[in-house]
Structure 1
Amino acid sequence: MITLDDVRTAADRIKGYVRRTPLMDASLAQRSPLPDGASLLLKLESLQVTGSFKARGAINQLLSLPPDAVARGIVTASGGNHGIAVARAAYVAGVPSTVFLPENAALAKQEKLKSWGATIHLIGRYWDEAHEAAMAFAEGSGLPYFHPFASPAIVAGQGTVALEILEQAPDIDLFLIAIGGGGLIAGMSTVLRALHPNARIIGIEPVGSPTLYASLEQGSVVKLDAVTTTVPTMACARTDPGIFDIVRKNVDDVILLEDAAMFDAARWLWFEFGLAADASGAAAAAALLSGQISVAPGTRICALVCGAGLDAFA
C-alpha cells in the first residue's frame, strides 16, 4: 500500500501544516505500571492540530490532490477524530466539508466539527454504517471521499508519527499503538520495520471491536458480526485488505482491552500528567496499566496518546 519513501514524501508535504508533537518522559508517575529499570515515553499526538494524529493523514490527502478535485468540497465518515481533521483540511483549502458520524459520536467532537465549518450527519450505530451513507453521498454528489484508513495518502501521513519519534528517541524497544481501522499502525509499522526493525510493535483494540485481531486469527480480512464497543473512534467492523497485509507482516501482536480499561487509563493520564486523552488516546497506556503486556526490566517503551478528549469524565 505504501513505502518508506511515501511517508518521507508526506512528511515534507505536510510540514508547516501540522505540529511536531512532544515525546514526554512519563517514567516518574506516582502509579507507574513499569518494572524496575523500564522507561515510558508518551508521544503526545493529543496536542496535534485538531487534537489527534488524524490531522497528518487528512492534510496529506488534501495536498496530494489537485485544487480543482476538491473545489466543491470533501466528504468523510468518522468516529470523530478523522472527521475533525478532514474538516480542518477543508478549512485550510477554503472548501466545504461534509462529515458522517455514528449516532454515539461524542458531543464535544461534534462541536469541534462545527467550529471547523463542517456539515455533519449522524447515521448508524458505528463507523461502518456512517461510512456506507457517506460513500453514497460522495458518489451521488461527485465529491471526493477521504477514507480514514484505506487511502494510501492517509496512511502515509499517519506514518510520519513514527519518523518523528525515531528522530526524538531512536532507541525505543517497544511501541504501543491504538487501532481503529488500522491506518495509524499500518503507517507507523511501515516506517519502524524499515528503520528500526528490532523494535516490538503491539496494537490495541477494544474487546467490542476486535477487527484486526479477528482477521489475524482467521488469516484473512473478516467483517465482525457485531461491534459493541462504546468508543466510537475505535469502532470498526472491517479493516481494509491493504491494511491487513501490512499489519500481518509488521506487527508482533494485537491485544484486546475492555472499554473500562481505556477510560481508567484516560483518568490516569489526567491525574498523573494533566493530559486530556479520549479513550482511544489512552488505549496504549491502558495496555500497560492492565498488565496484559510483559515488559522486561530496562525496556524503553513508547506509548501513543493519539487523541484528545474528556470521554472518561462524561
Structure 2
Amino acid sequence: MLSLADVEAARDRVTEVARVTPLEYSHSFSRMTGADVRPKLENFQRTGSFKIRGAMNRIATLSEAEKEAGVITASAGNHAQGVALAATRAGVDAKIVMPEHAPIAKVEATEGYGGEVILSGADYNDAQDRAHEIEAAEGRTYVHAFDDEYVMAGQGTIGLEIAEQCPEADTVIVPIGGGGLISGIATALKATLDDVRVIGVQAEGASSVAQSLEKGSRQEIDAVDTIADGIATRSVGQTPWEVIQERVDEVVTVSDNEIALALTYLLERSKTLVEGAGAVPLAAVLAETFDYEDDEIIVPALCGGNIDLNDLTTVVVRGLVQMGRYIKIRTELEDNPGSLQRLVDIIADHNANIYGIQHDRTSRDVAMNAADVVIDLETHGHDHVDELLAALEAHGYEVETLV
C-alpha cells in the first residue's frame, strides 16, 4: 500500500514544477461556523489545481522508451492540464481524451500547455474507454488520473505541506472523485500528525465512495450529475479504494446547492475563485455534514480553481438564491393601464431591486384580459424574501417562485 516514503520521494520529483500553496486562516468562515477554519488554497497551484503534482511524479518515473512513445490519458479537465504541462516540460508527446462537454476553459488551457485534446464521450468513464483504445493502438503509456500509486503519491505532497503549515490541524477535508487525492493526502497526514481526522466529501450526484462504504464493496454508479465536474466519476479507483478504507475516517456528501453556496461565499467573503469540486470541502463544513467542535481546527483543501465562466454565472446565481439574495417570481396581472405600475410600486416599497421584467399578454396560460409577468429581483436575505412575498399575496397577487 502507498507509504509515506512514496510521498516524500514524490516531493523531490515535483518540487521543480509544483508550488507550495498557501494555507490561511479565514475570519469569515471561522465566524460563520464557530470552528477555526484554515483553507488550503491549492486552487493557486500551477494549472489551477493539484493535478500537476501527480502528473509530474508519474511522468518523471517513465523509462526512456516510454517517454519516446508518448503518453495518453483521460480527464474531465484538471488532470488533462497537469499531464499536458508535465509532459511538455519533460519533452514527452501527450494526447488527452476529454468528455465532449468538458468546460471550454479547461480544453483551451490543456491545449495551451501543449497537449493534443480529443473530445469523446459523455463523461470521464467514456473518455477513459477511448483513451485506452488509443493506448493499445499507439503503444503510449496511460497516465491514470487517480488509480496509480505514483499519481497518488504526487497528490499526497499536499498532505506533507498541510502537516508542515498547520501541524495542529484537527480535521482535514478533501474532495473525492476517483480517490487519488484523498488517498495521497491521508497517507501523508496519518503518518506525520497525531490524531488528525481526514474526511472525504463527494457531490450527491457522484457519490460512488459513499455508496461503496455503505455497501462494503467498491461500487460503480450508473451516471453522474453534479456541477462539480472535477469529481464527477462513476467509481473510485481500486488502489485508492484500499487506502480510503484504511486511512479515511469518514465520507460525507453535499448537494449542488450547497456547493454553489460555498463557491459564492468564497468569491464574496474571501475573494477566492474555485470550481465546483474545489468548493466541496468548504460546503461540507458550512452545511455541517459532519460533527465538529467549536474552535476545532479544520483545513478544507480547496483543490481546483478552473471554472468555466459560463458555468460560473449559473453557479453564482444559484448561490445567491441559497443566500436569499436573488429570486425570480411569476404572477398574473389584469391587462389594463397601471397594473404593472402597481406591482412595481409594492416591490419598490419593500426595497427589492428589479433586475429584469418579462411582460407577456399573449401567453396561452393566461386569460384573454390578463398578462403573465416574470420578474428577477435582488433581495437582502431570506427574511426579506418572505416579507416581500407576503406583501404581494396580501395585495391579492398569486405568486409562483421560479428560483
TM-score (norm 1): 0.95
Contact 1:266 1:312 in 2 (8 A): no
Contact 1:104 1:232 in 2 (8 A): no
Q: Tell me the secondary structure at the aligned position of residue 76 of structure 2.
A: coil
Q: Tell me which residue corresponds to 1:181.
A: 178
Q: Deviation of residue 31 (structure 1)?
A: 8.5
Partners of 1:174 and 1:301 in 2: how far apart? 5
Which of 76, 79, 82 is the aligned partner of 1:79?
76
Partners of 2:214 and 2:312 in 1: how far apart? 31
Q: Tell me which residue corresponds to 2:229.
A: 232
Structure 1 residue ranges without an equivalent (≥5)? none
Which of 82, 90, 100 is the aligned partner of 1:103?
100
Q: Tell me which residue corresponds to 1:34.
A: 33
Partners of 1:298 and 1:197 in 2: how far apart? 18
Q: Tell me which residue corresponds to 2:149.
A: 152
Q: Tell me which residue corresponds to 1:281.
A: 278
Q: Tell me the secondary structure at the aligned position of residue 43 of structure 1.
A: coil
Could you tell me which amino acid in structure 2 is paired with residue 260 of structure 1?
N
Partners of 2:32 and 2:96 in 1: how far apart? 38
Partners of 1:156 and 1:149 in 2: how far apart? 10
Partners of 2:71 and 2:64 in 1: how far apart? 11
Q: Tell me which residue corresponds to 1:198.
A: 195
Change in 2 beyond 3 A, CA 1:135/1:270? same
Matches within 5 A, 1:16-55: 16-26=16-26, 28-29=27-28, 32-35=31-34, 38-55=35-52
Q: Deviation of residue 102 (structure 1)?
A: 1.3
Q: Deviation of residue 73 (structure 1)?
A: 2.1
- Provide Cα deviations, 1:257-285, integer angstroms capped at 9, x if missing partner: 11222122112111111111000011111
Could you tell me which amino acid in structure 2 is paired with residue 96 of structure 1?
D
Contact 1:76 1:145 in 2 (8 A): yes
Q: Deviation of residue 197 (structure 1)?
A: 4.0
Q: CA RMSD in A?
A: 1.5
Contact 1:80 1:109 in 2 (8 A): yes
Contact 1:179 1:203 in 2 (8 A): yes
Partners of 1:171 and 1:238 in 2: how far apart? 33
Partners of 1:184 and 1:30 in 2: how far apart? 24
**After the TM superposition, which of the residue ranges 203-212 and 229-238 deviates more from structure 2?**
229-238
Percent of aligned pairs sharing the same letter: 34
Structure 2 residue ranges without an equivalent (≥5)? 315-403
Could you tell me which amino acid in structure 2 is paired with residue 224 of structure 1?
I
Contact 1:263 1:312 in 2 (8 A): no
Q: Is the aligned partner of 1:8 residue 2:5?
A: no
Could you tell me which amino acid in structure 1 is paired with residue 2 of structure 2?
I
Q: Deviation of residue 293 (structure 1)?
A: 2.5
Could you tell me which amino acid in structure 2 is paired with residue 297 of structure 1?
D
Q: Tell me the secondary structure at the aligned position of residue 302 of structure 1.
A: strand
Q: Tell me which residue corresponds to 1:122.
A: 119
Q: Deviation of residue 232 (structure 1)?
A: 2.1
Q: Deviation of residue 66 (structure 1)?
A: 2.2
Partners of 1:23 and 1:16 in 2: how far apart? 20
Partners of 2:89 and 2:313 in 1: how far apart? 31
Q: Deviation of residue 226 (structure 1)?
A: 2.3
- Provide Cα deviations, 1:99-141, integer angstroms capped at 9, x if missing partner: 1111221111111011112211222221111111111111111
Partners of 2:23 and 2:147 in 1: how far apart? 28
- Provide Cα deviations, 1:18-62, integer angstroms capped at 9, x if missing partner: 101111111x11784321xx2111111111111111110000001
Could you tell me which amino acid in structure 1 is paired with residue 160 of structure 2?
L
Contact 2:149 2:239 in 1 (8 A): no
Q: Tell me which residue corresponds to 1:65.
A: 62
Q: Deviation of residue 71 (structure 1)?
A: 2.0
Contact 1:177 1:203 in 2 (8 A): yes
Partners of 1:65 and 1:173 in 2: how far apart? 37
Contact 1:177 1:304 in 2 (8 A): yes
Partners of 1:296 and 1:30 in 2: how far apart? 14
Higher relative contact order structure (alpha carbons within 8 Å, sequence separation ≥ 6): 1
Q: How many residues align?
A: 311
Partners of 1:60 and 1:145 in 2: how far apart? 14
Partners of 1:264 and 1:32 in 2: how far apart? 16
Q: Deviation of residue 212 (structure 1)?
A: 0.8
- Provide Cα deviations, 1:61-119, integer angstroms capped at 9, x if missing partner: 01111233122321110111011100011110123211111122111111101111221
Structure (1 or 2) with the larger CA radius of gyration? 2
Partners of 2:101 and 2:284 in 1: how far apart? 24
Contact 1:126 1:232 in 2 (8 A): no
